[in-house]
Each structure stands twice: as structure tokens, then as C-alpha cells.
Amino acid sequence: MQKSRLRYFILFLLIIFLGIISRKISFVPLWIGDFLYSIMIYALIRILFPNKKAIQIAILSLLICYSIEFLQLYQAEWIIELRKTLFGRYVLGQGFLWSDMLAYTTGILFIFFIEKIILKYTNYETRFRIKQ
């Protein structure tokens, strides 16, 4: 379990790095940042709940991403000021876009299927070694 958390923590840090880089390179489409953001949320939830099923992690991650996106419709003065900070801009975003919802969904589906493929492969490898 500890090894799994470490792997997801490394993935979490890598995604943060790639997300920041994606905003600095002008030819990278903006939706890539939202795609990576959803993968980062998935990794964070996986760190917190390593024993949950992948589908549960995916659903919770999507709910968090969607909630943060819909929160951008809320325009109280205090949250507008928070969004002007570096933390607020990166975590809460700037404005609601339906295309962000699509990027979040695609990112979660991507990491969900990658995780399922990797887990299937590693479980196969473990079973194969045990039988020999």
C-alpha cells in the first residue's frame, strides 16, 4: 500500500509540473491543462484512498472536478479576490467553460483506463511468477 501511495504521489507531482509547463508554452492547447488537472485530482484521491476501486476513485474525482468548475459560476467578492491569487487561479480556475467539463471527463477516463491496463498487467505478472 505504501508503495502505491508513493507512485501516485510521484505522479501527482509530475502532473503539477507538466500542468504548469503547459501554461507557459504557447502552442500547447489550453484544454491540456484541464486534462492534466483532472489526472492530478485522480492521483490525489488515489493517495488518500488507496484501497478503493478505480471506478469509485474516477467518480469521486469527476465530482470534485465538476464541483470546482461549477463553483466558478459563484461570483462573491471574497472568492473573486481568492481567484486573483496564484493558489486561487490554479485550484479554483477563472471562469466556467463547458469545454473544461469535457477535458476533465477525458482526463479521468484516460487515467482510469491506463490504471486498469497497468493493474491488469501487473496482476498478470504477479500471478505468472507465483505459479512458476
What confidence score (pLDDT) does residue 122 get? 63
Compare 128 and 111 and report the one with higher pLDDT.
111
CA 67, CA 57: separation in Å to the nearest integer?
Answer: 15
Q: Which of 57, 34, 39, 43 is closest to 103 using CA atoms? A: 34
Predicted TM-score of the model (pTM): 0.81
What confidence score (pLDDT) does residue 127 get? 53
**Per-residue pLDDT tens digits for 68-113:** 999 888 888 888 888 888 888 878 888 888 989 999 999 999 999 9
Whether 7 shows a pLDDT value over 90: the answer reads no
Question: 54 CB contacts (<8 Å, ≥6 apart)?
Answer: 112, 115, 116, 119
The DSSP code for 85 is S
Mean pLDDT, the chain, whole residue set: 86
Q: Which three cell numbers stand for residue 100?
A: 473544461
**Per-residue pLDDT tens digits for 15-32:** 999 988 888 888 888 889
Domains of the chain, by residue range, sit at 2-131
